[in-house]
A and B are shown apart, each in its own frame.
Chain A
Amino acid sequence: MSKVIVVTSGKGGVGKTTSSAAIATGLASKGLKTAVIDFDVGLRNLDLIMGVERRVVYDFVNVINGEATLKQAMIKDKRVDNLFILPASQTRDKDALTEDGVESVINELKADGFDYIVCDSPAGIEKGAFMALYFADEAIVVTNPEVSSVRDSDRILGILQSRSKVAEEGGSVKEHLLVTRYSPERVEGGDMLSVEDIVEILSIPLLGVIPESGSVLQASNSGSPVILDEASTAGMAYSDAIDRFLGEDVPHRFMNVEKKGFFKKLFG
């Protein structure tokens, strides 16, 4: 049974694409056949984060318009088996996404035996974001520890539970909270909302907390999903989140300020 997951947030720049890339890669490395679709038509980024920008021939909109088959447009990842990327078009706008077109692509992926279809949503609550979430069974809501991001996530949660297909049919989309760019030092200093505050405001289950880390930027620039960087805290946190997503009980890490040891204090 294939599942459609939307990675969404409302607000821009919180780490949706980074998270989509990491989650899709993480699921595929568990041996699950995974497709990740970039819904940000006109501002495509996922191909860069995944390091496949030079391999894009056809895109999502070409497939919707019948100008290419899904097989032609899908890019197979070279590092991880079972991982396929469907890039967005850079030359079109969000109106190119039609409900029937998106549905037919998702249905074809389901028929193709994909376990997970990860939809990387654009920012905002307009057509692109709406199309990305409409067919979702589960939603990973990406939030930064600051009030505007939390409020936008709240708004997206409301839309998910009222306007998605599952909601229209009387069901409810399973919700997961992913807090990104978390800095325990700044939380302690009072500059950032704590995970507890965010969970209290949004009241949805916490999937993971990704600490602020330089390796995320590095990974983006080099076109390799950060989850593959097993030495970085962000990579480890994403791996934990995948385990939790698949039902394992993994304790949360990197949420508290690390106590510096005596030698670290001495030698920096």
Chain B
Amino acid sequence: MELKGEMSMLNVLHLQSTDLKEISQQIEAKRDEVPAFFLNSPVVVDCSSITDDLKKLDLKGLKACLTDLMFVPVGVRGIEPEQQAMVTKSGWPVLRAGPKKSTSKPSGKESSKPDESAKTDGDSEIQAQVSEEKATISRIIEKPVRSGQQVFVDEGDAVLLTHTSAGSEVMASGSVHVYGALRGRVLAGVHGDTNARIFCRSLDAELIAIAGRYQLLDEGDTDLRGKPAVIRLDGEKLIIEALE
């Protein structure tokens, strides 16, 4: 068997109100637009717009309501850490927040009053900015990564000023940049970012991986061995190209 973190498409329900009756009516209306599409589809509830009023929301009732409407409730996200116990107690799994883009759609799926939604829009924009800033934080490693050592950058890029040795491992949620020889294992986009890339001044890696797609680098796999290279993901295939 295999257990790993991967990205999947999920419907996310962005709540803007805590009134269960109102929510249920709006979901039902939405579902009836394309009933076949939503039938038994998993749904994640995003509470980031109503965190202050989360207490007022009947979470158990929401779960029952979603099940009745033939959705599969997966979990709740966008809550404050101190609210986690309350949410778990009501029978909902809590999901880690993903990178937020824009929280509310103008379609008015669950929006209540226009002035309120405008306000939350503004809030979510700030949030989006913050999370984007976070994502670009890179960690700079000045010393060589030696055999047996592991570097893990949970958020952002790994920038290595020297080399990595055979038997070492470098992992980053973003891209990996090596300004020297790359000799160990290297895994970019470990949280599923398929746009992550691997850059190095001299390619001699044992294993390369981007977003879970990996490849062992044996003799003769590439004629770029020992040369500057960039590795990117094209569909399911890792592409190794010369870095000019």
A-B contact count (CB 8 A): 35
A201: CB under 8 A from chain B? yes
Please name the residue on chain B nearest to A157 by beta carbon.
B146
B147 near A155: Cβ-Cβ < 8 Å: yes
B149: CB under 8 A from chain A? yes
CB distance from A3 to the nearest CB of B (A): 22
- Bin the interface of chain A by size: 10 to 19
A154: CB under 8 A from chain B? yes
A155 near B162: Cβ-Cβ < 8 Å: no
Rounded to whole angstroms, the CA-CA distance of A131 and B166 in the bound complex is: 25
A161: CB under 8 A from chain B? yes
Q: Which B residues lie within 8 Å of A172 (CB)?
A: 143
A162: CB under 8 A from chain B? yes
Rounded to whole angstroms, the CA-CA distance of A155 and B143 in the bound complex is: 13
A113: CB under 8 A from chain B? no
Q: Which B residues lie within 8 Å of A13 (CB)?
A: none
B106: CB under 8 A from chain A? no
B162 near A151: Cβ-Cβ < 8 Å: no
B162 near A203: Cβ-Cβ < 8 Å: yes
Interface string of A186-207 (1 = CB under 8 A from B): 0000000000000011010000
Chain A interface SS verdict (over half): helix
Interface string of B138-155 (1 = CB under 8 A from A): 000001111111000000
A154 near B163: Cβ-Cβ < 8 Å: no
Q: Which A residues lie within 8 Å of B192 (CB)?
A: none
Please name the residue on chain B nearest to A160 by beta carbon.
B146
Given contacts A154-B146, A154-B167, A161-B146, 17 further A-B contacts (CB under 8 A): A151-B165, A151-B166, A152-B147, A154-B166, A155-B147, A155-B148, A155-B167, A157-B146, A158-B145, A158-B146, A158-B147, A162-B149, A200-B181, A201-B165, A201-B183, A203-B144, A203-B163
A-B contact pairs, 22 of them (CB 8 A): A151-B147, A151-B166, A151-B167, A152-B147, A154-B146, A154-B147, A154-B165, A154-B167, A155-B148, A155-B167, A157-B144, A158-B144, A158-B146, A158-B168, A159-B148, A161-B146, A162-B149, A200-B181, A201-B165, A201-B183, A203-B162, A203-B163
Give me the interface of A with B, judged by CB distance under 8 Å: 151-152, 154-155, 157-159, 161-162, 172, 200-201, 203
